[in-house]
Amino acid sequence: MTRRRTRFGVLGAAALLLGAGLTASPMMTTPAHAAYGPCNTTVQRTDGVAVNNYYVVPARTGNGLSCYMQWQTGSSNAVTALQRAILRCYGSTPAAERIRDSGGADGVYGTGTVEAVRWLQANRLGVSADGVYGPATRAAMWWPDYWRDPSDGSVEFIDCYNPPF
């Protein structure tokens, strides 16, 4: 009898654990990046080192740089900033080739951009290769550094850096 109770106890505990795992709450199934909201604008950020230099980075109104983009998500200007950064800073990689082959910096986070981001994540950035642009991808990426001439407002590309913002 004791053996039977032990067996039922073990089976009951296993059923409880299995059932709990299969009925995960929405909080457990929502992707982590969804907490930030999609990128809906861009911002010009400086690295605090050079005067009149800036980077154009995807952002979210009211949430700063913490935002995400994925398949068909993100404003046109935010996606374009990401695509331009890939073309400028990773120009000789398969990621830039994929952006060029799918229409260039067209502002659409389509298959080409997903594949480009996934390639960068897996081969250059050392972050989870899911094709989703988020805070970890932004922090690991190199961004084009531009200089604005204060006398006439003209803009010149300087180089690509991984700025501390």
CB 38: neighbour CB atoms within 10 A?
18
Which pLDDT score is estimated for 98? 97
Query: What one-letter code names the amino acid at 58?
Result: P
CB 115: neighbour CB atoms within 10 A?
18
Q: CA Rg, the chain, in Å?
A: 22
State yes or no: pLDDT of 129 exceeds 90.
Answer: yes
pTM for the model stands at: 0.78
State yes or no: pLDDT of 15 exceeds 70.
Answer: no
Which pLDDT score is estimated for 103? 93
Looking at every residue in the chain, the average pLDDT score rounds to 84
Q: In what order do the strands lie in the sheet with 143-148?
A: 41-45, 53-59, 143-148, 155-161
Share of the chain above pLDDT 70, in %: 79
What number is the average pLDDT over the span 123-134? 96
Share of the chain above pLDDT 90, in %: 66
